[in-house]
């Protein structure tokens, strides 16, 4: 009977260890995985696809106008406030341009 209790207790502890490890072994976000984010256009030129003319701004907005305000860019890493798509690595214009005037 003692051996049966030890066996059951051992199985229970093993099952709990496996169960808890399932929630603690999350892999961190890999650098180099593509990200698509909106960047604001600083030139205002409609159809502008030059990444140097765009800036990432978490608090930026667009006011109504016929200029180009923002567009989607795909990069190799997450953007940092104030950076252009070039700073986030290998920018690719993903389209979805929004009209308006960029207001920081």
Predicted local distance difference test score (pLDDT) of residue 2: 72
Report pLDDT for 27. 47
Give 22's pLDDT tier (boundaries 50, 70, 90): low
61-98: b (≥16 Cβ within 10 Å) or e: ebeeeebbbbbbbebebebeeeebbeebeebebbeebe
Delimit the domains of the chain by residue range.
35-103
- The pLDDT of residue 43: 96
Non-local (6+) Cβ contacts of 96 within 8 A are: 71, 72
Q: What is the pLDDT of residues 35-84, one digit of tens each?
A: 999 999 999 999 999 999 999 999 999 999 999 999 999 999 999 999 99
User: How far is it, in rounded angstroms, from Cα 11 to Cα 95?
Assistant: 55
Whether pTM exceeds 0.85:
no
Provide the mean pLDDT of the chain: 83
């Amino acid at each position: 009977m003692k051996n049966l209790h030890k066996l059951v207790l051992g199985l229970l502890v093993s099952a709990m260890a496996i169960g808890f490890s399932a929630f603690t072994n999350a892999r961190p976000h890999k650098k180099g995985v593509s990200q698509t984010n909106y960047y604001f256009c600083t030139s205002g030129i409609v159809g502008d696809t030059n990444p140097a003319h765009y800036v990432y701004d978490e608090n930026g907005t667009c006011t109504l106008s016929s200029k180009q305000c923002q567009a989607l860019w795909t990069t190799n890493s997450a953007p940092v406030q104030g950076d252009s798509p070039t700073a986030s690595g290998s920018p690719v214009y993903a389209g979805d341009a929004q009209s308006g005037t960029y207001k920081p």
